[in-house]
Homo-oligomer: A and B are copies of this chain.
Amino acid sequence: MKLTILGSSSALPTSERYPSAHVLSVHERLYLIDCGEGTQMQLRRNKIRFGKINHIFISHIHGDHVFGLYGLLSTMNLMGRSTTLNIYAPSKYREILFSHLLDFDIILGFNIDFVALDSGDPVKILDDKHLTVTSFPLRHRIPSYGFLFREKAADRNIVKEAIEKFSIPVARIPAIKKGEDFILENGEVIRNDEITVAGPVPSSYAYCSDTMYFKRLSSFVRNVDLLYHEATFEAGLGELARITGHSTSTDAARTAFEAGAGTLIIGHFSSRHKDVQPLVREARSIFPRTIAAVDGTTYDVGNIDVP
């Protein structure tokens, strides 16, 4: 599971930070989370293939999380896309999206399967070969949702030498990778753990933006390996954070701590914070494994270096 952060600014982009957009890569499949203005340019700059994106998750209907979607859809269309695209977004956005495409005479050559988010509780919204995705409610000025991506346990890896030694037929390999023992022609049972080793440990990633702090949030992202949490403001601006429905550095750290997260990445920084290192230091006072998001950086979700 690899995470590439394409944008980590809040509403006002800066010369270093684009508006919100993340790409999660799981076994060569790409999951786009939020789609701020310029997402398609950031995808190109990071050499990420548009055609591999089949799922787009939109947290809420504020421009800095959505204004790149029209251009991206239009580009996918011009590139000849025919595969269905799944868009998960607050229910209100369905009509806005389709009527705006119509305003621009954009006739898509592919279907959009729109999944409306409107629950006050966690909901499993995707379950495919490699992962499950759960949406959960955040607390912002308008309906806003977070997303939890949990990789499924991978198959065990078969030991190459064992195939030769026991003349294991190719047809048996998938079952053995799932954990079955292998029985020789003479009836002898070769135990699975003699011929396989454990596959890679599954990882998990959660995206929480935009939201103010609330106690229940940590229960939605319990034990996640990597938590991205907005930290629009420094710790001293708690009042402003509450009024605007955002979090401070220490709010984000508190949720990471209460959730028992592995690592915390903070982002969605207000443009007033030219240097975000003070916010990282504040967060580390509560949750030491904290780093700041950097646009254009790819993170190995299960294995992050914290200086």
Closest to A97 in B: B103
Q: Which of A46-78 contact B (CB under 8 A)?
A: 61-64, 66-68, 70-71, 74-75, 78
Is the beta-carbon distance between B103 and A96 smaller than 8 angstroms?
Answer: yes
Check: A142 CB closer than 8 A to any chain B CB.
yes
Is the beta-carbon distance between B67 and A71 smaller than 8 angstroms?
Answer: yes
Check: A45 CB closer than 8 A to any chain B CB.
yes
Contacts of A66 in B (CB 8 A): 104
A126-147 interface bits toward B, Cβ cutoff 8 Å, 1 = contact, 0 = none = 0000000000000000100000
Contacts of A171 in B (CB 8 A): none
Closest to A73 in B: B63
Check: A40 CB closer than 8 A to any chain B CB.
yes
Query: Contact partner of A74 among B11, B78, B142, CB < 8 A?
Result: B11
CB distance from A138 to the nearest CB of B (A): 17
A104 to B62, CA, bound (A): 6
Query: Contact partner of A63 among B41, B44, B62, B106, CB < 8 A?
Result: B106
Is the beta-carbon distance between A74 and B63 smaller than 8 angstroms?
Answer: yes
Check: A19 CB closer than 8 A to any chain B CB.
yes
Is the beta-carbon distance between A11 and B68 smaller than 8 angstroms?
Answer: no
A148 to B258, CA, bound (A): 61
Is the beta-carbon distance between A40 and B41 smaller than 8 angstroms?
Answer: no
A77-107 interface bits toward B, Cβ cutoff 8 Å, 1 = contact, 0 = none = 0110000000000000000100010011110
Interface size on A, residues (CB 8 A): 33
Check: A267 CB closer than 8 A to any chain B CB.
no
Check: A277 CB closer than 8 A to any chain B CB.
no
A8 to B2, CA, bound (A): 33
Check: A15 CB closer than 8 A to any chain B CB.
yes
CB distance from A140 to the nearest CB of B (A): 12
Which residues of A approach B to under 8 Å, CB–CB? 11-15, 18-19, 37-38, 40-41, 44-45, 61-64, 66-68, 70-71, 74-75, 78-79, 96, 100, 103-106, 142
Nearest first, the 6 A-B pairs at minimum CB distance are A37-B71, A96-B103, A38-B38, A67-B71, A15-B44, A63-B74
In the complex, 16 of the A-B residue pairs with CB atoms within 8 angstroms, ordered by the A residue number, are A11-B75, A11-B78, A13-B40, A13-B44, A13-B71, A37-B67, A61-B103, A61-B104, A63-B70, A63-B71, A67-B70, A67-B71, A96-B100, A96-B103, A100-B100, A100-B103
For the complex with contacts A67-B71, A96-B100, 12 further pairs of A-B residues with Cβ separation under 8 Å are A11-B74, A11-B78, A12-B78, A13-B41, A13-B75, A37-B38, A37-B68, A38-B41, A62-B104, A63-B106, A66-B104, A100-B103
